[in-house]
């Protein structure tokens, strides 16, 4: 226990991801409350000495004081530690929340009575919350990504899994933790490096290295058999207060993906299927959300189809809609419905046209705004699709890809979605390698799906629509 005390005494501020999220949430809420006070001042309550509870009751609707909570909900994606440490992601994330807030505000603005809505106050809150949160997040990046607040990590295993993890860590900036090196029992690897990080020793050296390097976390990255000496050393380290976790779990936390190329072939049966089974309450809530969103989507589609249809007809003629068979949950086929965005595959001379030359000008706009997906709300109402899930795929492509990409057919364990975790994190896949990456995102969603994750995906989809980031 002595070495444990020394590590914690020397490094009392080594923050875990959960602790970082708490700090972010506390700071964000403080900024939101401060923004609320700024909005009250701007709204016209400048005479703070005469400020009273009666005045608040008379002039301010109760929902106005819930704005900080709404703001936190809109920024729920910003509690991803990978994004929270980067200034660019911070500006983009807060900007999307501000844009969504403004759209909602304008919608309510025009539907409300002139004196019913504190228009200046809400607008001031959005501006103040945006500025204050960006300032606080930049301060967080400056302070809490410093080495003194980072966990010190040692990777156990310098084979394929350990090397892959090192490569992942090197691509993330700022780094998620401080990597002191690796250990491996292969004598040929001792003294060499992996992507610039040293292999410091073997299992017999583990406890000494942990103490000397003041390691706080061990990441187990051995995919084959493990010797008894390594197992005993890991157990002793854990007994001394060192956090021990596995490479796949760290990979998922860092990238939001499942490392399909590093898992054994029986992984689907050993862990994924049981973890992928959602609770009945979640499935009921998800179906209810699908029905509500489907009704809203079909209503909106009915309003815009005459205009979109006219534009499609004027540019490229019939048909307005495009249908194709896709594979749904458990491999059942169904007909997907979309607005047509492409011309015929062959020109007048019978020459096959590349896809990029077939996209119409109207189709380009529909794809960029994702409005070509709007008719799929009919599929959602029918129960063939969900609002959120893996991208629906053509049956023959599934048969081809499952022979090249591990676990590819596992994406059929859930209904396909109009949007999804892979869609908001990655563009279209044109190679087998890219398809594998998209599948890693899909399997992460199937394994971890919750209403909170669904809400994050919806927010990011709105940001993609607002930012014209469709393809």
DSSP string, 398-411: HHHHTTTSTTGGGG
Same domain, 228 and 350: no
> Is 23 contained in some domain?
yes
Following DSSP, what letter does each residue of 246-312 receive, concatenated?
Answer: EHHHHHHHHHSS--GGGS-TTHIIIIIHHHH---HHHHHHHHHHHHHHHHHHHHHHHHHHHHHHHHH
Q: Measure Cα distances from 292 to 165, 338, 423 in Å.
A: 42, 20, 22
Same domain, 461 and 362: yes
Same domain, 366 and 405: yes
So what's the pLDDT on residue 1?
38
Same domain, 329 and 223: no
Alpha carbon distance 282, 355 (integer Å): 39
- Of 115, 144, 173, the one marking the end of a domain is 144
> Is 261 contained in some domain?
no
Q: Measure Cα distances from 202 to 163, 165, 341 in Å.
A: 16, 18, 58
Following DSSP, what letter does each residue of 17-61 receive, concatenated?
Answer: HHHHHHHHHHHHHHHHHHHHHHHHHHHT---GGG--HHHHHHHS-
Q: Measure Cα distances from 387 to 16, 284, 349 in Å.
A: 33, 14, 41
Check the CA dihedral 114-116-120-123 and report its sign: negative
So what's the pLDDT on residue 57?
58
Same domain, 135 and 159: no
Alpha carbon distance 192, 199 (integer Å): 6
Alpha carbon distance 271, 259 (integer Å): 14
- Of 102, 128, 144, the one marking the end of a domain is 144
So what's the pLDDT on residue 443?
93
So what's the pLDDT on residue 45?
58
Closest by CA position to 46, among listed 112, 126, 120, 129: 120
Same domain, 290 and 404: yes
Write out the chain's pLDDT in tens, 471 residues: 344 434 444 445 677 777 888 999 999 999 999 999 888 887 765 554 445 555 555 567 778 889 999 999 888 878 887 788 888 889 988 988 898 888 888 877 776 666 556 677 888 899 999 999 999 999 999 888 877 788 899 999 999 999 999 999 988 877 888 999 999 999 999 889 999 999 999 999 999 999 999 999 999 999 878 889 999 999 999 998 899 999 999 999 888 999 998 887 767 666 666 666 667 789 899 999 999 999 999 999 999 999 999 999 998 888 999 999 999 999 999 999 999 998 876 555 556 556 667 889 998 999 888 889 999 999 999 999 999 999 999 888 888 898 889 899 889 989 999 999 999 888 788 788 899 999 999 999 998 999 989 988 988 887 667 654 555
Same domain, 402 and 428: yes
So what's the pLDDT on residue 390?
95
Any idea what DSSP says for residue 172? S
> Is 3 contained in some domain?
no
> Is 8 contained in some domain?
no
The alpha carbon torsion through 29, 30, 35, 38 (nearest 10 deg) reads: 150
- Of 255, 289, 319, the one marking the end of a domain is 255
CATH code where residue 231 lies: 3.40.50.720
The CB-side HSE value for 83 (13 A sphere, CA atoms) comes to: 14
Closest by CA position to 374, among listed 408, 404, 337: 337
Same domain, 219 and 345: no
> Is 65 contained in some domain?
yes
Same domain, 294 and 439: yes
Any idea what DSSP says for residue 353? P
Residue carrying the six token digits 């109009």: 418
Same domain, 36 and 69: yes
Write down how long the chain is: 471
| Residue 304 CB neighbours (<10 A) | 12
Residue 119 sits in which domain range? Answer: 17-144
> Is 210 contained in some domain?
yes
Same domain, 303 and 421: yes
So what's the pLDDT on residue 183?
95
> Is 272 contained in some domain?
no
Our count of domains for the chain comes to 3
| Pairing between β-strand 197-201 and β-strand 178-183 as defined by DSSP bridges | parallel
Is residue 324 within 8 A of residue 336, CB to CB? The reply is yes
Same domain, 334 and 384: yes
Check the CA dihedral 427-430-436-442 and report its sign: positive
Cβ burial 388-413 (10 Å sphere, 16+ → b, else e): bbbbbbeeeebeebeeebbbbebbbb
Alpha carbon distance 229, 235 (integer Å): 10
> Is 265 contained in some domain?
no
């Amino acid at each position: 226990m002595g070495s444990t005390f020394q590590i914690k005494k020397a490094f009392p501020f080594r923050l875990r991801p959960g602790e970082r999220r708490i700090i972010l949430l506390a700071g964000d809420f403080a900024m939101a409350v401060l923004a609320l006070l700024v909005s009250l001042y701007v709204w016209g309550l400048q005479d703070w000495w005469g400020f009273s509870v009666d005045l608040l009751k008379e002039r301010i609707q109760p929902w106005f004081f819930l704005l900080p909570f709404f703001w936190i909900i809109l920024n729920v994606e910003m509690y991803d530690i990978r994004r929270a440490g980067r200034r660019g992601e911070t500006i983009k994330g807060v900007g999307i929340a501000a844009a969504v807030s403004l759209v909602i505000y304008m919608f309510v603005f025009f539907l409300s009575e002139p004196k019913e809505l504190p228009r200046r106050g809400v607008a001031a809150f959005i501006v103040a919350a945006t500025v204050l949160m960006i300032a606080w997040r930049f301060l967080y990046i400056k302070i809490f990504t410093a080495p003194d607040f980072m966990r010190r990590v040692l990777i156990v295993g310098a084979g394929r899994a350990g090397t892959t993890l090192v490569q992942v860590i090197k691509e993330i900036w700022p780094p998620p933790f401080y990597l002191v090196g690796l250990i491996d029992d292969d004598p040929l690897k001792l003294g060499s490096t992996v992507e610039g990080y040293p292999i410091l020793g073997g299992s017999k050296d583990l406890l000494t290295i942990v103490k000397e390097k003041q390691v706080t976390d061990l990441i187990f990255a051995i995919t084959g058999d493990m010797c008894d000496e390594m197992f005993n050393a890991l157990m002793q380290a854990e007994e001394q207060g060192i956090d021990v976790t596995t490479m796949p779990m760290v990979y998922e936390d860092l990238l939001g993906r499942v490392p399909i190329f590093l898992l054994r072939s029986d992984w689907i049966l050993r862990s994924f299927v049981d973890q992928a089974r959602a609770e009945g309450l979640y499935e009921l809530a998800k179906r209810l959300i699908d029905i509500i969103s489907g009704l809203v989507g079909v209503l909106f589609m009915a309003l815009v189809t005459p205009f979109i249809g006219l534009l499609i007809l004027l540019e490229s003629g019939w048909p307005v809609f495009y249908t194709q068979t896709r594979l749904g949950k458990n491999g059942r086929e169904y007909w997907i419905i979309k607005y047509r965005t492409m011309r015929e595959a062959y020109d007048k001379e019978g020459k096959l046209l590349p896809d990029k030359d077939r996209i119409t000008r109207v189709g380009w706009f529909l794809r960029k705004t994702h409005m070509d997906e709007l008719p799929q709300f009919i599929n959602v109402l029918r129960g063939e699709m969900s609002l959120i899930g893996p991208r629906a795929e053509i049956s023959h492509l599934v048969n081809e890809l499952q022979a090249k990409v591990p676990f590819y057919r596992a994406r059929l364990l859930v209904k396909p979605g109009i949007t999804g975790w892979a869609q908001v994190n990655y563009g279209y896949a044109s190679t087998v390698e890219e398809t594998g990456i998209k599948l890693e995102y899909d399997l992460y969603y199937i394994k971890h799906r919750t209403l909170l994750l669904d809400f994050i995906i919806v927010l990011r989809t709105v940001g993609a629509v607002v930012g014209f980031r469709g393809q």
